[in-house]
Amino acid sequence: MGEAPEIQLHIREEARPTSSSSQEAAFAQPQSSSKLTNWQWWFLLFFYSFLILAGHTSGNLLGRFYYNQGGKSVWMATITPSAGFPLIIPLLLLLPPSSTAAVHRPSIVKLAAIYISLGLLTTGNNLMYAYGLLYLPVSTYSLVCATQLAFNAVFSYFLNSQKFTPFIFNSIILLTTAAALLGVHSEGGSVSGHKYSIGLALTLAASAGFSLVLSLTQLAYQKVIKSETFTVVLEMILWTGLVSTASSVAGLFASGEWRGIREEFAGSEKGKVTYVMTLIWIAICWLVYSVGNVGLIFQVSSLFANVIGTLATPLVPILAVVFFHDRMDGVKVVALLISILGFVNYVYQHYLDDAEEKKATRIEHP
């Protein structure tokens, strides 16, 4: 078998800085590369975006399905989003060694600190998300998760030198407003109002924590790893996934929930095979999401990766109505439309940035 081609991730020509400030600016904005043609850059952008949308939508729906078929373990729901990391190993073995990565290879101590920190933060976020998905209808849960963009904008401003424009600011305000509408619109359904409030609070906290992980991941690329290969993307997912899974398994045993797994498995409403396949596919879906997410962080920025993830906001509630018969009332419809408008604002800003860059290139190289 021939060697798999190494995918060269995107960095602008002017994004090969010597100073810290210029390097921060390079990672804060979408960039073009002397090593990637325009169509290659857009192909990677759409490819990673597709992975995020497919993984995010499927992962959330399957997570709700796990609970619906009798699943009760929040620690099991915490393990599965990161448990797909072993599938990364064959990809790493197929990719050729990267000379670029070798030149900029940080020390093992620094890499270990990054992977362990991000892995543990991911475990905490996954646990809070698991409680949120347990206590909230999946449509409400998904729309509340849209606040990730607002949190990420704040972290990106302070950690990644992300510049704000009126359209980005509008996007953040609109998405936050959509989540606020759902927050004051109590819809506990079969869940008590107390648990609904807990689910809402934990989902908001998880959204903030997830946004922090995205910005810290970009900062790690920017300040420590300083490499631009697909191999680096896969290594980040592999090692953080290992740490997150190991700590989640420890939590499963420490909490005592492991005692109920056998009963959960035997009493699954859809059968034992469906129970196992549900967990496997949840892990695969979130692995697909992780590849797209980390790829976009490296290629563009953490804020842009979060915006693409937010695009799944209107997809999950619609599919939840179809598959789980969630109620789509007037408040949810309004929140959905506001979320879409917020996303459009950000995409339009990216279009303006791209048009401005092309115009500058034509003036510089007529």
Instruction: Look at residue 35 in the predicted model and tell me its pLDDT.
Output: 56
Q: pLDDT class for 36, splitting at 50, 70, 90?
A: low
Instruction: Look at residue 11 and tell me whether its pLDDT is greater than 50.
Output: no
Instruction: Look at residue 37 in the predicted model and tell me its pLDDT.
Output: 67
Q: pLDDT class for 324, splitting at 50, 70, 90?
A: confident
Q: Name the pTM for this structure.
A: 0.76
106-117 residue pLDDT tens: 889 999 999 999
Q: pLDDT class for 175, splitting at 50, 70, 90?
A: confident
- Whole-number Å distance between alpha carbons of 214 and 204: 16
Comparison of pLDDT for 262 and 176, the residue scoring more:
262
Comparison of pLDDT for 138 and 79, the residue scoring more:
79
- Cβ proximity of 326 and 139 under 8 Å: yes
Instruction: Look at residue 33 in the predicted model and tell me its pLDDT.
Output: 41
- Cβ proximity of 69 and 268 under 8 Å: yes
Instruction: Look at residue 355 in the predicted model and tell me its pLDDT.
Output: 77
* Nearest alpha carbon to residue 213 among 182, 177, 244: 244
Query: Hey, where are the domains in the chain?
Result: 27-364
- Whole-number Å distance between alpha carbons of 50 and 107: 33
- Cβ burial of 297 (10 Å; 0-12, 13-18, 19+) is buried
Across 207-226, average pLDDT: 89
User: Residues with Cβ < 8 Å from 314, sequence gap 6 or more?
Assistant: 336, 339, 340
Comparison of pLDDT for 16 and 256, the residue scoring more:
256
- Whole-number Å distance between alpha carbons of 223 and 303: 17
Helix segments in 104-227, DSSP class H:
108-135, 138-144, 148-159, 166-184, 193-220
